[in-house]
Structure 1
């Protein structure tokens, strides 16, 4: 009887069960390799009630989760648990660079990736793909405990945060044939709430787009803060062209192909520029008969766009937009937004096919939940002392609680809500806490000086291979516009990309866009389920 060997290491040793020499060699090999391998208890899986179940899952947990199951607060780290709320510019930087030999790092964020926001506008029109500007949090969680969850509230006295898991509902599946049978919704009975303890807390939850409570904005406008926003905008722009292609009314076509951008800051300007390039370079080739109906306008209440840039650069951008056919309507106040219609304060009604809203930032629900616990600025940002330590509602420092990024600012010293500020604050806080771990006998203020923000300038893409670069905060003459500024803009953001993977694929997509044009595929979710359910009811 022959012996079958599946291991490539044993194929040369196993020939026949009748060979005593061969069997002795195999036994010796197995005994030595087994001694080297860690012992793992195997648990048979059983299919029960349509879901896999095991009698024990502790074998599959990392040491941090095993300790948490046993109720141990810290895992042998001298300085305890550092909890980071958020995975943006501040939170992700801290997550990567904290000293994990001194601290047990715990990350809580509803978004399981870091988003490189300066290139988000490029993805909304297909210049880049979404994977080019994201970094998975899980890829950097070696020796880190990560929870994909929203932080609902913080108990500073108990050093505890309450969270809700942000795990999307598993989509409905078809029992057998998707075209003829009813749908079944997969559900689970897992708990969605959890409480976590901390020794040090860093709040880096960012901010939301500000609607200024203008009626209809949330219902009818698109924002540009997340990858999901960019996907929706891309689908909507393509939908407008497809609907206009089928329309027989010039009035309807003019409305569908009017693209409105409210907000003349860097986000609004860069999106308008990317959209203009997409329409001029790609849509003109795909929908040549619709180009006479296309209009693109930027609306802003301020007297100019890019108001925070040097005046000459702001004027250059306005001139460039007018020359490119982008309408700039400054001093315009939006009263309300209706379905497909922008209503201005002077009573004028402007039909639109797609409206993108980028008029500043406001607090998110997590910072709003701290209303009576921390001191806040007029703009609803958490106030900190010069060491980035959070102040309670009486103005006193809350021990071991810090805040960085858009959600916070220093008392009596308002900081801009930019990625640059969040990144510098994260570097400052990481260095300070790592120093504190090496000198635990000292206080936080003994190991570091107060935080000082160094403004490294601002950049904005303005279309057709041109940009503006403003570094006048460093040197009064350090400013540039045109193609040279565009080269600086692209090379700067390429080098700032986090991973080598993205540094490789970003220029690849830039080259592909230049050679082949942008991808106009739409990955919107079709209402197939609704159509099937309606068909079943009618049947």
Structure 2
């Protein structure tokens, strides 16, 4: 009796790109057409744009962690782990499970959407003393850390110690850094009436970036408006400046300033997941070089998208232009890749990815925001309505929408609370504790492992 085997489609990553791809594959493929597997260490999709609001306590962590099992029809098998290597020739993905077991997952079609990791530089002390803002755990940890600095400063009798604990440094003038600084500054400002022993003049926020402009994608006018809003709030914005070295109790800027602080938040961009380096394929600034159809040249059945792929930006019509690593692009690319996987499966021609930009939104907390929907520049309350309306509508499940809306209303009526939830342990957790970039295999290790398994090696 012949055994009928279905094509195996493996999707790596449960970010915007991977989840959108899986959802579309489930809708458009008949159950008998293919087996679907999703590799992800977490059984949820994180809505990253609202992470600063989790850090500031406006939203609860679970409100932006969208369960994969709630919205799925249980057709897709979830493999709980992270891909650490891919052998393109053998068509095998090496996965480290959440229990640290290494397994080989064969595939016929693979969709690489592993996302990105925090971009760091060879700055002394950075990985040991800086916090990242890329995961739910980091956002929750930062909230506890900031509140603990308020508690420790309130209890301190030494004014110098108070000043050091009440200075906060955020590096990165993009959306993540700007929104993080703005949201957390509102948290500490709102805390003043709960901490009567603290001198308001000691609370200082620094936002620095090596770039000459704040969020240049917004344009000259809106970028300047955002900077003026931050300035009115007392956030000191320094452009053309970065970190020279970081210590446990102070940070040295490249302009020579030394800022006593216990809080350094690093949001200076992202780089493609280290998984991409295990393929031994051509890259563009670390991102996998793919065609406009998001296929890997020379390798049948390999697709890549999102932050980890240099997808040609055909809408710009400029040679060499690639799509920026944004949620908007990742979501749309996920749908297009799903369509192209189905086309490949059914022997039909693939189509290129093209897009029309919907605009940009920046939520600075409270009534402050700047937005540019469809090229229209907005500020203040109208911009805030657009920003929150966009994020709310983009949430994938009704449960998430209900939780976020409830959190927003509760925060508007009751204000912030200042309860530490236990993430702030005695041992500090910094960038190096959340970015497991040393867990990946080299191309040679992947090949040796797969060849060894094929030969029957243990």
What residue number does 2:360 align with?
Answer: 458
Instruction: Indicate the structure (1 or 2) with the bigger Cα radius of gyration.
Output: 1
Instruction: Find 1:227's aligned residue among 111, 132, 136.
Output: 136
Picking from 360, 367, 374, the partner of 2:281 is 374
**Cα distance in 1 between the residues matched to 2:424 and 2:310:** 43
Deviation of 1:503 (Å): 1.1
Unmatched runs of 5 consecutive residues or more in structure 2: 313-319, 428-458
- Looking at structure 2, the residues matched to 435 and 209 of structure 1 have their Cα atoms a distance apart, in angstroms, of 34
1:103 and 1:519 map into 2 onto residues whose CA distance is 49
**Distance across 2 between alignment mates of 1:322 and 1:244:** 24
Is the 8 Å Cα contact of residues 370 and 378 (structure 2) preserved in structure 1? yes
TM-superposed deviation, 1:346: 3.3
2: distance between equivalents of 1:441 and 1:220? 52
The 5-angstrom pairing of residues 392-411 of structure 1 reads 397-410=298-311
Q: 1:132, 1:409 → 2: CA distance?
A: 31
Alignment of 1:468-487 (within 5 A): 468-471=370-373, 474-475=374-375, 478-487=376-385
Find the counterpart in structure 2 of residue 429 from structure 1.
337
Q: Give the direction of change, closer, same or farther, for the CA distance of 1:383–1:126 in structure 2 (3 Å limit).
A: same
8 Å CA contact 1:75–1:104 kept in 2: the answer is no
Mapped to 1, the partners of 2:64 and 2:129 lie a distance apart of: 26
Structure 2 residue 207 is matched with structure 1 residue 298: yes
Q: Which position in structure 2 is the counterpart of 1:512?
A: 410
Query: Which secondary structure does the structure 1 equivalent of 2:391 belong to?
Result: helix
Could you state the TM-score of these two structures normalised by the residue count of structure 1? 0.73
Matched, 1:88 2:15: yes
Deviates most, 133-142 or 259-268: 133-142
- Are residue 124 (structure 1) and residue 55 (structure 2) matched? yes
Cα distance in 2 for residues equivalent to 1:208 and 1:215: 19
Rounded Cα–Cα distance in structure 2 between residues aligned with 1:353 and 1:429: 44
**Distance in 1 (alpha carbons) for counterparts of 2:357 and 2:103:** 39
| Residue in structure 1 matched with residue 448 of structure 2 by the alignment | none
The offset of 1:161, in angstroms, is 1.0
Deviations along 1:257-285, one digit per CA (max 9) or x if unpaired, are 0011111110011111111221222x122
CA contact (8 A) 1:100 1:143 kept: no
Cα shift at 1:122? 0.3
* Distance (Å, rounded) in 1 between the aligned partners of 2:365 and 2:82: 37
1:132-531 alignment runs, 5 A limit: 132-139=63-70, 140=72, 142-167=74-99, 192-281=101-190, 283-290=191-198, 291-370=200-279, 373-377=280-284, 379-391=285-297, 397-410=298-311, 412-437=320-345, 440-442=346-348, 446=349, 448-471=350-373, 474-475=374-375, 478-524=376-422
Asked if 1:112 is matched to 2:43, the reply is yes
Contact (CA 8 Å) 2:52, 2:139: kept in 1 or not? yes
- Contact 1:466 1:483 survives alignment (8 Å): yes
TM-score by length of 2: 0.86
Deviation, structure 1 residue 386: 1.2
**Structure 1 contact 85–202 (Cα < 8 Å) conserved:** yes
May I ask how many residue pairs the two structures share in their alignment?
413
Distance 1:75 1:454, change over 3 A: farther
Structure number with greater CO (CA < 8 Å, separation at least 6) is: 2
Cα 1:485–1:369 shift into 2, 3 Å:
same
Distance of 1:141 and 1:381 partners within structure 2:
32
After superposition, the CA RMSD in angstroms is 2.0
For 1:405 and 1:213, locate their aligned partners in 2 and report how far apart those are by CA, in whole Å. Answer: 26
Query: CA-to-partner distance for each residue in 1:89-123, whole Å, 9 max, x for gaps?
Result: 10111122212522211111122210001111100
How far apart, in 1, do the equivalents of 2:197 and 2:4 lie?
66
In the TM superposition, what is the alpha-carbon distance from 1:342 to its structure 2 partner?
Answer: 0.9
